[in-house]
Structure 1
Amino acid sequence: MIETIKKHIAEVEAFTASNKDEIETFRIKYLGKKGLLNDFFAEFKNVPNEQKKEFGKVVNTLKDTAQDKINTLKEVLESSEEIKGVYGDISRPGEPIELGARHPISIVKNKIIDIFSRIGFNISEGPEIEDDWHNFTALNLPEYHPARDMQDTFFIEKNPDVLLRTHTSTVQVRYMEENKPPIRTISPGRVYRNEAISARSHCFFHQVEGLYVDKGVSFADLKQTLQYFTTEMFGKSKIRLRPSYFPFTEPSAEVDVYWGLETETDYKMTKGTGWLEIMGCGMVDPNVLRNCNIDPEVYSGFAFGMGIDRIALLLHQIPDIRMFSENDLRFLEQFKSAY
């Protein structure tokens, strides 16, 4: 009988369960009213006196082992259910990582860079905090020049020589100072102007300006470059150049693209004309070349500049420029999987 009980002890120690029903069946088998332990205790009176001590010890060991096994299995099962409640089914495949979204300004900027890189333009960058020379004087805007009033400037600590750049033409000046022609570069970046914030204007925005300097560069080269850009960017091949004025180019022009009048939105955007202004351009003024140590008798060049924000508003039909800087995920998530 004692050997039989020892076998049961070994079975109890080896027992495992995966659910509560198996544990309950095990408990009833050993600890229930009609369980094996009650049978063994009832058999105690028939055990010879010399074996009673060992018999009682073995039966108690079986009882304690069975109770400990039940308690242990219940704790393990409850812990497993708690983890499952928090994390769900840990055996199932993980959730896919949610895709991020590019900012619409970045989308348009990258597309502009890609278009001009196909025709040999590299990218140049410069500081956003500039000095008077690079932002104004080198660009044919000497002190007290009336054209300076065209750009309301943020000065740093009331220092008239240190300011937040008002255009990315400053990068072109730096590039010409450090590189010899032929030069073919575009300069994307953020610029700042002390303007009232509204649906159509902001105190900071983004520009990309292009520069080409070499021997024999003509206005015809400028027009063909812009023709290529508008076709690739907008799918519109019809452009016109209207005479204008910029201190750093001569002659200067505003560039319009024929947007069309196919929808009501087209009428609103173009004010019923079908034409939409997209950038300014012109031949680099000889004074600007001289200021950058380039001989205007040998070299000529053209420059152009456009607002990235303005183009993004057009392409994506965004009604308010302030949406670009409000970080509203409902707005930004619309640009997932974009360019």
Structure 2
Amino acid sequence: MGMEQELGQIRDAALAVIEQASDLDELEAIRVDYFGRKGQITTAMKGMSQLSNEEKPLIGKLSNEVRNAITLSLEEKQAQFEADLLNIRLKEETLDVTLQGRKLPKGSSHILTQVREEIEELFLGMGYMVVDGSEVEQDDYNFKRMNLPEDHPARDMQDTFYIGHNLLMRTHTSPVQARVMDVHDFNEGPLKMISPGKVYRRDSDDATHSHQFQQIEGLVVDHHISLADLKGTLNLFAKELFGEDREIRLRPSYFPFTEPSVEVDVSCFNCGGGGCRICKQSGWIEILGAGVVHPDVLEMSGIDSEQYSGFAFGMGIERVAMLKYGINDIRNFYQNDQRFLSQFKARG
């Protein structure tokens, strides 16, 4: 058998046993078996002296190729074993320094957010749209477009936060209604909207008053809208929000932007109308103000008051929440006392 064939067989056999090696010690034994002083390649190369001058360069080149192939295979196998050993050591020597965690309490929406969303969902179900507006408003939209003349007491600096000649922090969300009336296309259907949001008044904070609070105002404009439509809507609202047994009553009142105007009471949900501390023994609780939209308000938005009419209403979200859940101090909503707020998590 020639040296060329012998070297090929040595190479193939070495690669096979290297592939089957199971650990570093066995791999080292294979290296010695092939490259040691008495190794197979060393022994085979002793026959180089018997080759002709023409054969020696060819066999020398082949022997180097065989050495390189076996050496590369040994190195790759060794790297594999060493990586496996390192992974085992890392796994065995890992020290868990994780401290026992504390379970964070689950949060929920603020009670005022819950009440606002409950009211919004109720009116969305009746086909209303919800419209937001800017908290900084023009004097014209906040007062003039709501039929409040310049000498009306509500324009007094004691009631309103003015931040410029014609700019103020809105005192109600009615300006949103005026802006929507300006652009609404009645060819596409009646206008039915609610406008929730924060409003601001120059008021002293106490158990029932706040300089900042939230309102939801509603507006419907279409042909032949009457006070009866308003009463039916608010009657449904009261039953959905406070319970099926609730009733409402309308009392004459005055607002510049509605005529006629009414105060709306709901039968006391604590005593059922029999009289108690909450309703001051009357059986009724005042809940909101409302009325038929004043013709001048419609005309200022370019709506023909001979063809169209509407109703409007406005309520404080804090007042609704206080009545619904028996809360007696409006300041509780804004003090971030978790003992108070956590009572309403189940409703989030």
Unaligned ranges ≥5, structure 2: 1-23, 27-85
Q: Which of 158, 174, 180 matches 2:179?
A: 174
Q: Aligned to 1:101, what secondary structure does the other structure show?
A: coil
For structure 1, the residue ranges without an aligned partner over 5 or more in a row are: 1-8, 12-71, 89-93
**Kindly tell me: are residues 107 and 253 of structure 1, through their superposed partners in 2, closer, same or farther at Cα, counting changes over 3 Å?**
same
**Paired AA for residue 205 in structure 1:** F
- The counterpart of 1:131, out of the listed 121, 124, 138, is 138
Select which of 116, 132, 135 maps to 1:109: 116
Matched, 1:223 2:235: no
Q: Deviations over 1:42-68 (max 9, x none)?
A: xxxxxxxxxxxxxxxxxxxxxxxxxxx
CA distance in 2, matches of 1:289, 1:122: 19
> Are 1:261 and 1:272, in contact at CA under 8 Å, matched by a contact in 2?
no
The match for 2:220 among 212, 231, 246 is 212
Of 85, 107, 113 in structure 2, the residue corresponding to residue 100 of structure 1 is: 107
Matching residue's letter, 2:172: H
State the superposition RMSD in angstroms: 3.0
In the alignment, is residue 194 of structure 1 matched against residue 199 of structure 2? Answer: no
Tell me the amino acid that sits aligned with residue 306 of structure 1.
Answer: M
| Identical counterparts, % of pairs | 48
Deviations 1:27-83 (A, max 9, x none): xxxxxxxxxxxxxxxxxxxxxxxxxxxxxxxxxxxxxxxxxxxxx9xx9799744x3
Q: Letter of the 2:138 partner, please give it.
A: D
- List per-residue Cα deviations over 1:214-261 (Å, max 9, x = no partner): 011111111100111001010143111000000000000000001156
The correspondence of residues 29-108 of structure 1 with structure 2, limited to 5 A, is: 80-81=94-95, 83=96, 85-88=97-100, 98-108=105-115
Map 1:235-246; keep pairs closer than 5 Å: 235=243, 236-246=245-255
Greater CA radius of gyration, 1 or 2? Answer: 2
Report whether the alignment pairs 1:120 with 2:127. Answer: yes
1:298 equivalent in alignment to 2:307: yes
Distance of 2:115 and 2:177 partners within structure 1: 21
Q: TM-score, normalised by structure 1?
A: 0.71
* Residues 1:310 and 2:322 are matched in the alignment: no
CA offsets 1:66-125 (integer angstroms, 9 cap, x no match):
xxxxxx9xx9799744x3x4334xxxxx98764211101111001101111111111011
Counterpart code for 1:87: L
Retained in 1: the 8 A contact 2:226–2:311? Answer: yes
Counterpart residue number, 2:80: none
Any idea what SS the aligned residue of 1:155 has?
A: coil
Counterpart in 1 of 2:263? 254
Q: Closer, same or farther in 2 for the Cα pair 1:314/1:298, shift >3 Å?
A: same
Q: Distance in 2 between matches of 1:209 and 1:153?
A: 19
Post-superposition offset of 1:314:
1.4
* 171 and 76 in structure 1: CA distance in 2 versus 1, 3 angstrom threshold: same
- Per-residue CA deviations over 1:149-193 (Å, capped at 9, x if unaligned) read 59800011xx24100000011110111012133100001100000
Alpha-carbon distance change, 248 to 79 in structure 1, aligned in 2, over 3 angstroms? farther
CA contact 1:138–1:288 (8 Å) conserved in 2: yes
Q: What is the number of equivalent residue pairs in this alignment?
A: 263
Structure 1 match to 2:43: none
Amino acid at match of 2:98: V
Structure 2 distance, partners of 1:195, 1:147, is 12
Task: Give the secondary structure class of the aligned counterpart of 2:114.
Answer: helix
> What is the distance in 2 between the residues matched to 1:10 and 1:304?
90
Q: Tell me which amino acid in the other structure corresponds to 1:209.
A: E
| Gap change, CA 1:201 and 1:108, over 3 Å in 2 | same
